[in-house]
Amino acid sequence: MKCLVIFGLIVAVFAGIAGYGYLLFTDLTRPLPRPEYKDDTYWGPGDGKNYVPDTKIYDFKLDVPKAEIEDLRQQLNRTLRLTDPLDGIAFEYGFNTYALEQFVEYWRDKYLTKWKGRQDYLNSLKQYTTEIQGLKIHYIHERVAEEVAEKKHVYPLLLLHGWPGSVREFYDFIPMLGKDQNITDYSFEVVAPSLVGFGWSDAATRVGFNAAEMATVMRNLMLRLGHKKFFIQGGDWGSIIGSNLATLYPDNVLGYHSNMCMLTTPLSILKSVYINYYPEKVLKSRMFYDHHVGIWEKYQLLLAESGYYHLQATKPDTIGAALDSSPVALAAYILEKFQTCTGPSLQQDFGAIVTVFGLEAVLDNLMIYYLNNAATTAARFYAENMSKPYRDLQLDRVQTPVPMGCARFRFDLPAASEWQLQDKFTNIKHSMYFQHGGHFAALEMPSMLYNDFTAFVQKVGLHVKS
């Protein structure tokens, strides 16, 4: 009898543990309801009590004073106090200082000499500013020509960049979206903002400006421009902001297309472990699961390449002070990310950045950070998105019916599979893997991104010509 009692107690304990585990698992994996979200929070200077919104739209032209360019030249002309790289080391320890010396020399002696031409190029797309929630927002706005609009369905498109990028990533991509391309019945009126705290957009003045707040500002910008419904395309932070916008404001979104498809819910992580061992049971073809990075390799890669993330998510003002004070430090910090994103076969190649992105494009992007003193304000976005108030929203667990498309470029961060994404995006229209390409898809291979985005729009099927 005593043995039976003990056995019964053991069974009861294990049943309790199993029941609790099941309830915990169910609680952690079930979808959450969409939260009510305040869409008019004031983020400008002061407390906003006497804030009078300015709804006007102003033309924007970049016009950097010659004295500012000359001051930069003088800073770059100072003797560099750089430590020689270790023998036999290229970029394994960070951005190679021999390469950095060459970049600084080119930046100072050639790029800045032709600054007027670079400035004219940056002004070649139509740009504006307007005030949203107390912040001046800078944006590119390229409309479709009348003759194109007569032949094609035209949709508004919100195009979102990330870090350490800027709107400069889109200068080859945007013209494709508005041209009379034969491969699609669609054309796009493009709005490409500088994110808050990036480029020529103001930075928030107090704590709390996270990706949900950024999504709200971007949505309100589109409403300001008369677009109640629009497509979204984004990578890096632009992908996360786009996901938040599609989650919080699904009625405003015609479709959301990402080239950095990520999901970090408990259920997604469990599925990632399963895919690690049985990719052939989940992914659609050998080509697809050959792209898949094993879970341990994935975490090793993230650990090796995410030091900047930890700095910016914990002490953004410390690293920001160093980068804002020294253009050479800013160059080393940002160029190292572009070097890494050239792909495994080129990461240790001294000519990789020139080969993959082009020197002028990368220096244009660097200048946007330098001219706007944006290293600190952009880095703070990481800290805000690691904060408890944002994490408590758990927006990755809130489902959205918005049509979704995913383009996975081979050498980008490991992306979520369709099996994982479907827990959040209940209306996946398009899912693609590419054998080439990396993190800065719009800059590296704009034609491929254009083809994939328009294929997604075709599958959304808003208008189909007979």
Q: Could you give the angle at which helices 2-29 and 266-277 cross, rounded to 10 degrees?
A: 100
Mean pLDDT of 438-464: 93
State yes or no: pLDDT of 148 exceeds 60: yes
Residue 93 a catalytic site member: no
Examine the residue annotation and report whether 63 is marked as an active-site residue of this protein: no
Whether 189 maps to a domain, the answer reads: yes
Q: Is residue 12 part of a domain?
A: no
Considering the chain, what percentage of its residues have pLDDT values greater than 90?
A: 77
Please tell me which residue in 382, 390, 433, 450 is annotated as part of the active site: 382
For residue 19, being part of any structural domain is answered with no
Q: Which residues contact 250 (CB under 8 A, 6 or more apart)?
A: 400, 401, 402
Domains in the chain, number = 1
Among candidate residues 139, 439, 450, 452, the one labeled active-site is: 439
pLDDT at 289: 57
160 in a structural domain: yes
Mean pLDDT of the 255-266 span: 95
- 135 domain residue, yes or no: yes
Within-domain flag for 4: no
> Could you tell me which residues come within 8 angstroms of residue 300 by beta carbon, excluding any fewer than 6 positions away?
none
Q: Which residue has the higher pLDDT, 8 or 6?
A: 6
By residue range, what is the domain housing residue 403? 57-460
Q: What is the CATH number of the domain that holds 120?
A: 3.40.50.1820
Per-residue pLDDT at 20: 46
Question: If you search the block for the tokens 């020294």, which residue do you land on?
Answer: 326
The one catalytic residue in 186, 202, 227, 236 is 236
Q: Tell me the per-residue pLDDT of 314-368, one tens digit each, with 9 for 90 and over.
A: 999 999 999 999 999 999 999 999 999 999 999 999 999 999 999 999 999 999 9
Is the predicted pLDDT of residue 22 greater than 90, yes or no? no
- Does any domain span residue 11? no
pLDDT digits 0-9 by tens, 26-69: 567 899 999 989 999 999 999 888 899 999 999 999 999 999 99
| % of the chain surpassing 70 pLDDT | 91
Structural domain contains residue 386: yes
Per-residue model confidence as pLDDT tens digits over 207-232: 999 999 999 999 999 999 999 999 99
Q: Which is more confidently placed, 176 or 181?
A: 176
Q: At residue 413, does pLDDT exceed 90?
A: no
Active site (annotated) includes residue 439: yes
Q: Which two tokens stand for residue 364?
A: 């244009």
